[in-house]
Chain A
Amino acid sequence: MLEAEGLACRRGGRLVFEAVSFALEPGDALLLLGPNGSGKTSLLRLLAGLARPAAGTVRWRGRDIREERAEHAQRLHLVGFADGLKGLLGVAENLALQAALLGEPEARVTAALEAFDLAGRARDPVRALSSGQRRRLALARLLAVARPLWLLDEPGVALDRANRARLEGAIERHRAEGGLAVVASHGDVGLRDPLVLELGDGPPC
């Protein structure tokens, strides 16, 4: 369903990775491993269609995502460090507006907040949240708007054990419903038999 073929990424003239290929079917999860700077975030951005690969293609059901950027954008969630949350707006407000911006005004905001144990904070401004709570709110977007492809950049950072379990549960349910997940992680998020892709420290010479 999601295929990457011979992907290479160049940043600031430096080759970050090359010859990255994989294929994911519904229900699959891909775990991206690698040291800082090995290109995990860049690969997620390539898969989202936000950046152009230096070489190679990404295909969804056999079609190049660069040729259908708008459609591809509606298939995926990208949750990274920059969460797009506005500190002045409330927790539920932020999530509802993000969902509306994704074209889903009838999003399951309340259910998504409950799933990440934020229902009690729904009316608080986001700037009053701790970094873990903020991360949970960013992740709640995954459940508020249904999308088949989840691209998660270090989703476990700042989460305590109970909330990491909630996240893992959400990912497994998503997979059980036929969804795909690509997770960049240093191993703090447990996935049930994922495909593993190790990005090295630069390409082998």
Chain B
Amino acid sequence: MLRAALALLRRDLLLARRRAGESLLVVAFLALATTLFPLGVGASPDLLGRIGTGVVWVLALLAVLLGLERLFQPDLEDGSLEQLLLSPAPLELLVLARCLAHWLATGLLVTLASPLLGLLLALPGEALLALPLVLLLGTPTLTLVGGIGAALLVGSGRGAMLAALLVLPLEIPVLIFGLAATEALAAGLDPTGALLLLGALLLAALAFAPLAIAAALRLALE
């Protein structure tokens, strides 16, 4: 049972490695998008310092939403999704494995790239350190919640844009508490409250998102 989930994880990671170029494109897109902000609002370090962490968080959210289409749609089209339903492992567990693999190729990548993005916005050293730490706690939630939207719309032919619209309001708490924690950490204040809330959101998403995603996928394939 667990072995089937591990097999799925292994396959997804193999696939992610063979198309590593796609993931690097996401990072390149983020870096380019970041450089638009100094161009758009002016390169004053004071102004960038105030909006910088917010910009990186919003871009991280967008990067996760952009990747949602690849979460289940390719598997629906090539028949893998049907085989997942016929696996002895519970679909919820397989869904969790899939989300983990997807997060490693998108969320973790964004997390690792965040200091670089912060550097492009001339953020101070404390913020460069705080960003990846808090993103590490926040991006898995973004992926899990986004997965619900992706699963609900899989096969509807409307694709990622509508899924993004659907889940965006649900992602806002992560953005709010993530930003609060990052800014508190960067300013040397106590970030415990925001971090705890962020952790609670992650635990709730871990518990409920796989159930919701699996139910949506079963419905899509009936």
Contact = CB atoms under 8 A, between A and B. Distances in A.
Interface in B60-95: 75, 77-80, 82-90
Interface of B: 1, 3-4, 6-8, 10-11, 14-15, 18-19, 75, 77-80, 82-90, 221-222
Nearest to A93: B14
A102 B88 contact: yes
A182 to B, nearest CB: 15
Interface of A: 48, 50-52, 70, 73-74, 76, 78, 80-86, 88-89, 93, 97-98, 100-103, 105
7 contacts: A50-B82, A50-B85, A51-B221, A86-B78, A89-B15, A89-B18, A105-B3
A51 B75 CA distance: 18
User: Sorted from nearest, which 6 A-B pairs have the closest CB atoms?
Assistant: A82-B79, A100-B7, A84-B80, A103-B88, A84-B79, A73-B86
A101 B87 contact: yes
Contacts of B4: 100-103
B51 to A, nearest CB: 40
A89 B11 CA distance: 9
Contacts of A50: 82, 85-86, 221-222
Contacts of A52: 222
Contacts of B6: 100
Contact of A78 (B3, B82, B88): B82
A68 to B, nearest CB: 12
B85 A97 contact: no
A103 B15 contact: no
Given A78-B82, A81-B79, A101-B7, A73 B87 contact: yes
B222 A70 contact: no
A73 B15 contact: no
A189 B19 CA distance: 38
A86 B7 contact: no
A76 B87 CA distance: 10
A86 B83 CA distance: 13
Nearest to A75: B86
A66 to B, nearest CB: 12
A98 B3 contact: no
Nearest to A147: B86
A105 B6 CA distance: 11
Contacts of A48: 86
B97 to A, nearest CB: 10
Contacts of B88: 70, 73-74, 102-103
Given A97-B7, A103-B88, A82 B78 contact: yes
A104 to B, nearest CB: 9
A105 B87 CA distance: 12
Contacts of B89: 101, 103
B83 A51 contact: no
B159 to A, nearest CB: 19
A102 B87 contact: yes
A187 to B, nearest CB: 24
A93 B14 CA distance: 10
